[in-house]
Amino acid sequence: MAIAPDLVARLRDILGPGGLVEDQDDLAPRLTDMRGRYTGKTPFALRPATVDALSQAMALLYAAGIPMVPQGGNTGLVGGATPDERGGEVLILTDRLKAVRAVDPAGDTITVEAGCTLAQVQAAAAAADRLYPVSLASEGTCTIGGNLATNAGGIHVLRYGNTREQVLGLEVVLPDGRLWDGLRALRKDNTGYDLKHLFIGAEGTLGIITAATLRLWQRPRVQGVGFAALPDVTGAITLLGRLRQAAGEGLTAFELLPEIGIGFVLDHLPGAKRPWRRSRPGMS
């Protein structure tokens, strides 16, 4: 679908320098997903530097009937951030919306823009002697917007819950460009419908999340990691139950490593060592 040149010119005006990416070579890494399963096309991508510019640009695209696909770190594994192959969908990149707007250690909250990487949010929390507990292997690249849109889990769900459980408030640009301001930091908020939950896990289908107020936690003062070699999954579940009885909320993660998974790591990660001397059948 060809996009009218005057619309493109207006978008360029609204978004300012660097706000419209038209060079297909620059766009190429954004058009294929992490696993190389999906490749799409886009006429151009928006890279707004402010929420207001995003809002104005989306209003124009919406009025022209042009579909939009938000993309954060492009680490999603289900193709949600890849435009389709027809080439009519405009990509919206959030990598310039990356301010940490506020850190409030007294209220145990942090307010960040959607393009902040998860690692940046963890670091900003740590700098205030607090913990933002969501942790995924993609945390150096994935964004808070993407985490929210996918309700990302990670290794600490057992203790702290998914991303949804961390959210106190959201700011969202709706498809027609209107701003929905649901940025609240109040935990004891029992007013009306809790609309923020519609946007969490919606993969960007209901609007583009531009900022979030997230809850922070006290940092554990001491941490330990243990490995246990077990013959089967039933044994692992029994162990989990016993550890929870003994440690309660002190248990923050519990992962199963099948022997085949350890084999992959040993084969492909230079320097990796088996945590025990010999391989064992089944679970480790």
**Applying CB under 6 A, which of residues 19, 43, 76, 133 lies at the interface with ligand FAD?**
76
**Applying CB under 6 A, which of residues 153, 175, 235, 282 lies at the interface with ligand FAD?**
153
Nearer residue to ligand FAD within complex by CB, 146 or 182: 146
Cα–Cα distance, 157 to 253 (Å, whole number): 7
The minimum distance between CB 175 and ligand FAD, in angstroms, equals 11
Q: In the block, which residue shows the tokens 């310039």?
A: 96
Q: At what angle do helices 5-15 and 51-63 cross, to 10 degrees?
A: 170
**Applying CB under 6 A, which of residues 72, 83, 169, 182 lies at the interface with ligand FAD?**
72
Q: Which of 171, 174, 155, 172 is nearest to 163 (CA)?
A: 155
55 is a site residue for ligand FAD (CB under 6 A): no
**Applying CB under 6 A, which of residues 74, 109, 213, 284 lies at the interface with ligand FAD?**
74
94 is a site residue for ligand FAD (CB under 6 A): yes
Nearer residue to ligand FAD within complex by CB, 4 or 209: 209
Backbone φ, ψ for residue 260 (5° rounding): -65, -35
The minimum distance between CB 106 and ligand FAD, in angstroms, equals 28
Cα–Cα distance, 127 to 284 (Å, whole number): 36
90 is a site residue for ligand FAD (CB under 6 A): no
**Applying CB under 6 A, which of residues 42, 122, 143, 213 lies at the interface with ligand FAD?**
143
Q: In the block, which residue shows the tokens 């941490």?
A: 223
Helix then strand then coil, % of the chain, to nearest 5: 30, 20, 50
In what helix (H) or strand (E) does residue 268 lie, and over which residues does it extend? Answer: helix 259-268
The minimum distance between CB 90 and ligand FAD, in angstroms, equals 12
149 is a site residue for ligand FAD (CB under 6 A): yes
**Segment contacting ligand FAD (CB under 6 A): 46-54, 135-143, 233-241, 260-268?**
135-143
Cα–Cα distance, 184 to 181 (Å, whole number): 9
51 is a site residue for ligand FAD (CB under 6 A): no
Q: Which of 255, 252, 254, 272 is nearest to 263 (CA)?
A: 272
**Applying CB under 6 A, which of residues 11, 168, 209, 214 lies at the interface with ligand FAD?**
209
Residue 275 tokens read as 């945590």
69 is a site residue for ligand FAD (CB under 6 A): yes
138 is a site residue for ligand FAD (CB under 6 A): yes
Cα–Cα distance, 52 to 257 (Å, whole number): 46
81 is a site residue for ligand FAD (CB under 6 A): yes
Nearer residue to ligand FAD within complex by CB, 75 or 122: 75
Are the CB atoms for 216 and 130 separated by under 8 Å?
Answer: yes
Cα–Cα distance, 136 to 198 (Å, whole number): 23
Residues contributing to the site for ligand FAD (CB under 6 A): 34, 69-77, 80-81, 94, 114, 136-138, 142-143, 145-147, 149-150, 152-154, 203-204, 208-209
